[in-house]
Structure 1
Amino acid sequence: MRLARPVVVGLLGLLLTSCALIREPGGRYYADDGPPGGSGPNPASVPNPVPRAEALSAIGNAPYTALGTRYYPVATAKGYQERGLASWYGRMFHGRHTSSGEVYDMYAMTAAHRTLPLPTYVKVKALDTSQEIIARVNDRGPFIGGRIIDLSFMAAKKLGIVARGTAKVEVTAITPAESSGVRSKSPVNRIFLQAGSFRLPGNAETLQRRLVAAGLRSTEVIEARVNKTLYYRVRVGPVREVSDIDGQVEKIRQLTGVTPRVERK
């Protein structure tokens, strides 16, 4: 979905870039962003997601800046409908984290939008063919003029726009009858930010001291055994307010050069 995207919200610090931004002007896509050797599930076997009421993501719904523009995600998707260009992104970002903290699956029916709440279900209609799909928005983007939505590879495949790269679409939000929302000042159920993982306890303690000195006082070192190997993990939390997450993620990234891993306990 992206090219050299700056840190925006929470896990947007992973520098995701819009597939739209790596596409040639003529609309053709680079083959290395599709599935290896044309493999992957048959689109006919992948159903549209069934819209349901979901709590808003704990991250990814705060205001953010991308490519010099400030964006303000809306509190509700009710009544949203827009026409514009759709693009898509594929295996270059398969397995990476999305803005909501979920792992991007190029074979799932998902999408990215600049301001709709995460998550939101949308109906996407190709205006030239009237083909329709349903996708679940769990990411941010695209950040290029005229493009209003970035589709996962599978969503684009089912809509019939992979080879073209972009297509004119109509996007309509689907709002379930009931919705359980999380507002920016609501308590978060035990979210931790893992700032580092070390084999040597001294290295973990050094990072802990740096984080505390930077104002992240709720920092601890915990032991974790992975495949019989003992690691010392440094984590910040639990984060008490949703509105605190983005600032703490950015502070850790500036100190360590790495975007922290979000853990829900």
Structure 2
Amino acid sequence: ASIDVASIPEPKAQPEPLAQYGNPESYEVDGVTYRVEPVGAGFTELGTASWYGRKFHGQLTSSGEPFDMFQFTAAHKTMPIPAWIRVTNVENDQSLVVRVNDRGPFKEDRVLDLSWAAAERLGFADQGTAKVRYEVLTVPTSDAALIANPLAKPAQAIFQVTAVSTEIQAQKVAEQIRRAVPEDQATVRVESNGTGLFRVQVLPITDLGIERAIYEQLVALGWSPQRLIAK
């Protein structure tokens, strides 16, 4: 990525309304149930952080906003979103304020998934992970501001997995994906518009913030899904 992250201004923490999306009581990824838990300002945790970047750039975060790898943001499994935290790389003492607006990382030993820009600023983008400490600065409020300014409903994403010349081939691929993806998290369909091609498409639900997890499952199955937006 060709951008000087040192020139990106550090954001200022500010209380925000609770996001309309990404805050279910609980959600499930890969058979593990996560509960969204209230957390207070001043809460701190020490653990391993990873980062995510180009592969997810432009995809919807759990809050319904597009992921921007050049903004200082983070994913957390259970914190109400959006929240603001200060992250310190304990290996080099660099620290940065970031906005939590996504869910993840879904690996047991990780506490945060930071945007590429945040990881670069904290000095660990090249090594992939770092030991960090974060402190919660502000948590979202569920007050009248949310009703006055609701988030627009995120657009329905469609992952086009493959296009093949026979319906039998397409249904085989669709069946493989249905076995891997929970049916309450996504719809798998075969579509043909009369061109002689049969497209296998996966439509993840948007309001539980599991689009990213579905994408990772498709990649793990060996596909390179193309992300489309429903008209």
Question: TM-score band, normalised by the shorter chain?
Answer: 0.5 to 0.7
Give the drift of 1:261.
Answer: 6.6
Task: Report the equivalent of 1:57.
Answer: 19
Q: Quick check: 1:102 aligned with 2:65?
A: yes
Corresponding letter in the other structure for 2:21: I
Q: Where in structure 2 are the equivalents of 1:77-156 lying within 5 Å?
A: 77-156=40-119
Task: Report the equivalent of 1:165.
Answer: 128
Q: Quick check: 1:254 aligned with 2:187?
A: yes
* CA–CA separation in structure 1 for the residues paired with 2:83 and 2:151: 23
* 253-262 or 141-150, larger mean C-alpha shift: 253-262
Task: Report the equivalent of 1:180.
Answer: 141
* CA–CA separation in structure 1 for the residues paired with 2:82 and 2:21: 10
Corresponding letter in the other structure for 2:61: T
* CA–CA separation in structure 2 for the residues paired with 1:195 and 1:181: 25
Report the count of equivalent residues. Answer: 168
* CA–CA separation in structure 1 for the residues paired with 2:151 and 2:58: 24
* CA–CA separation in structure 2 for the residues paired with 1:154 and 1:191: 26
* CA–CA separation in structure 2 for the residues paired with 1:164 and 1:194: 34
Give the drift of 1:78.
Answer: 2.7
* CA–CA separation in structure 2 for the residues paired with 1:121 and 1:113: 11
| TM-aligned CA distance change 1:195 to 1:148, over 3 Å | closer
Give the drift of 1:115.
Answer: 0.7
| TM-aligned CA distance change 1:96 to 1:190, over 3 Å | closer
Percent of paired sites with the same residue:
38
Give the drift of 1:68.
Answer: 1.5
Give the drift of 1:258.
Answer: 1.4
Which whole-Å deviations, capped at 9, do the CAs of 1:116-166 have from their partners, x for residues lacking one? Answer: 111010110011111101110000001112210000000000000011110
Alpha-carbon contact 1:88-1:156 (below 8 Å) kept: yes
Unaligned runs of 5+ in 2: 158-182, 190-201, 208-231
Normalised by the length of structure 2, the TM-score is: 0.64
Alpha-carbon contact 1:193-1:260 (below 8 Å) kept: no
Q: Where in structure 2 are the equivalents of 1:14-53 lying within 5 Å?
A: 35=1, 39=2, 41-53=3-15
Corresponding letter in the other structure for 1:42: D
Alpha-carbon contact 1:57-1:182 (below 8 Å) kept: no
| TM-aligned CA distance change 1:42 to 1:180, over 3 Å | same
Task: Report the equivalent of 1:238.
Answer: none
Alpha-carbon contact 1:58-1:182 (below 8 Å) kept: no
* CA–CA separation in structure 2 for the residues paired with 1:125 and 1:119: 19
| TM-aligned CA distance change 1:261 to 1:160, over 3 Å | same
Unaligned runs of 5+ in 1: 1-34, 197-249
SS in 1 for 2:86: strand
Task: Report the equivalent of 2:175.
Answer: none
* CA–CA separation in structure 2 for the residues paired with 1:124 and 1:260: 31
